[in-house]
């Protein structure tokens, strides 16, 4: 499906859409500039500088250097509340964007190709930053249209090691206290003109473990004198698959992937040790702690039965992204107006990928959603994190429009 935005022939274009349409060339310019100077997590110096300079130019209050390179812009609406809607304190809505790039060598031959060797905006965070800037610009120009405070959070290091948590620890959700938060990810798994939004779990928890099997090496022809770490590791890898197949409720989705397995040096030598690394994903927050325990039980049991021992470390990276029902409904209603058809709303958009937006959503109710950005006709459909990833920039204006309409609806 291809959106009617911004080339709609409809005469009844709303005031918001008209303003944002005129902003589209700037959105593209900012995005391309950011695309040319991608920076890895916590190194977003040029990016933060660019954002900060724009905010300053537009007279927007900002705090910089939060969690190293993060920025928070604060815009106060000055629409007078109607007498019956008087609230003791103004409501605060946060909008979150991430700014970091990936250690990937770009293979696109475009005029705005990355100028930083081995670093690329291959996830679309350049677009997220441009959309957040466009939203800040629009809201600052239209303060009379909303009552309340909007905090725009420009976050570092989403890809790793995670910038959301340190920003929360630095107090970005406080003073004034944020009541709700929204955020988006440009999404090439969905076509341009669609929005993936749903209440409840959207993205998975991300956990990892490393394990080293400590056996006893020896001659390949004399296995009875050894403890073969390859045999032990193979049994562990297989047994780990029973966690999802036999321990997790079939109605809960989960993944255990052993992505790395290293052992041995030669075919006729029994390996002393075997080393594996894995990722674990799940949606249901009540499963926190379960995988850690069960994975180690399996490793311990199999090692014991073979006379091997093991080193094991398990850690949690991001919790699952869980959307609040009311905020998801607000985003869905707004998105439907922007894509202009209920068919453009895709509730079955869950993914086992992770996102540290989840930390914000643990603190305040909110909604994270996917903004369709693939356009195969323009060869813009490569997956995220691919060296040829790029997206249809028409989505930039749609992102701003959804955010702006969410702001007006949230405070009305």
CB under 5 A: which stretch of 9-17, 60-68, 120-128, 321-329 binds Zn ion? 120-128
Q: Are 134 and 26 in contact (CB under 8 A)?
A: yes
Contact with Zn ion (CB under 5 A) among 95, 123, 153, 263: 123
Q: Which CB sits closer to Zn ion, 186 or 236? A: 186
- The residue whose Cβ lies closest to Zn ion is 123
Decide: is 131 part of the binding site for Zn ion (CB under 5 A): no
Decide: is 308 part of the binding site for Zn ion (CB under 5 A): no
158 is catalytic: yes
Which of 44, 106, 158, 179 is flagged as catalytic?
Answer: 158
Task: Please measure the distance between the N-terminal and C-terminal CA atoms of the chain and give it in whole angstroms.
Answer: 31
**Residues near Zn ion (CB under 5 A), total:** 1
Decide: is 240 part of the binding site for Zn ion (CB under 5 A): no
Q: Pattern of binders to Zn ion over 67-106, x per CB under 5 A?
A: ----------------------------------------
Q: Which CB sits closer to Zn ion, 66 or 123? A: 123
Decide: is 203 part of the binding site for Zn ion (CB under 5 A): no
Cβ of residue 390: shortest distance to Zn ion, in angstroms?
A: 14
CB under 5 A: which stretch of 116-124, 213-221, 244-252, 296-304 binds Zn ion? 116-124
Cβ of residue 101: shortest distance to Zn ion, in angstroms?
A: 9
Cβ of residue 389: shortest distance to Zn ion, in angstroms?
A: 9
Residue 292: half-sphere exposure toward Cβ, Cα within 13 Å: 12
Which residues, in sequence order, are bridge partners of residue 312? 211
The site for Zn ion (CB under 5 A) is made up of 123
């Amino acid at each position: 499906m291809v959106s009617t935005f911004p080339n709609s022939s409809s005469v009844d274009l709303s005031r918001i859409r008209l303003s944002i349409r005129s902003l589209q060339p700037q959105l593209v310019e900012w995005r391309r500039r950011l695309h040319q100077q991608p920076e890895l997590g916590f190194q977003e110096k040029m990016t933060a500088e660019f954002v900060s300079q724009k905010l300053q130019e537009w007279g927007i209050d900002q705090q910089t250097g939060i969690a190293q390179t993060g920025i928070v812009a604060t815009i106060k609406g000055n629409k007078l509340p109607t007498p019956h809607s008087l609230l003791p304190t103004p409501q605060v809505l946060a909008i979150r964007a991430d700014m970091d790039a990936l250690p990937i060598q770009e293979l696109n031959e475009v005029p705005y190709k990355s100028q930083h060797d081995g670093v690329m905006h291959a996830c679309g965070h350049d677009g997220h930053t441009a959309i957040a800037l466009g939203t800040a610009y629009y809201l600052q120009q239209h303060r009379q249209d909303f009552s309340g405070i909007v905090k725009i959070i420009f976050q570092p290091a989403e890809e790793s090691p995670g910038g959301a948590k340190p920003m929360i620890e630095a107090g970005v959700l406080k003073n004034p206290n944020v009541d709700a938060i929204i955020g988006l990810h440009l999404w090439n798994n969905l076509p341009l003109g669609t929005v993936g939004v749903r209440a409840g779990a959207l993205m998975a928890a991300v956990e990892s473990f490393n394990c080293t099997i400590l056996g006893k090496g020896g001659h390949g022809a004399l296995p009875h004198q050894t403890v073969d770490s390859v045999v032990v590791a193979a049994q562990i890898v297989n047994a780990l698959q029973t966690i999802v197949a036999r321990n997790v409720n079939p109605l809960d989705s989960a993944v255990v992937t052993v992505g790395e397995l290293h052992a041995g040096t030669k075919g006729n030598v029994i390996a002393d040790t075997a080393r594996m690394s894995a990722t674990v994903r799940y949606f249901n927050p009540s499963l926190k702690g379960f995988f850690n325990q069960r994975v180690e039980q399996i490793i311990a049991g199999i090692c014991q039965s073979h006379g091997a021992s093991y080193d094991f470390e398990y850690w949690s990276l991001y919790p699952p992204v869980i959307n609040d029902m009311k905020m998801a409904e607000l985003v869905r209603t707004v998105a439907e107006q922007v894509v202009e058809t209920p068919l453009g709303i895709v509730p079955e958009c869950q993914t086992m990928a992770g996102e540290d937006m989840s930390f914000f959503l643990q603190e305040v109710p909110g909604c994270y959603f996917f903004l369709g950005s693939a356009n195969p006709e323009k060869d813009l459909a490569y997956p995220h994190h691919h060296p040829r990833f790029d997206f249809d920039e028409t989505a930039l204006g749609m992102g701003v429009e959804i955010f702006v309409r969410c702001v007006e609806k949230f405070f009305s």
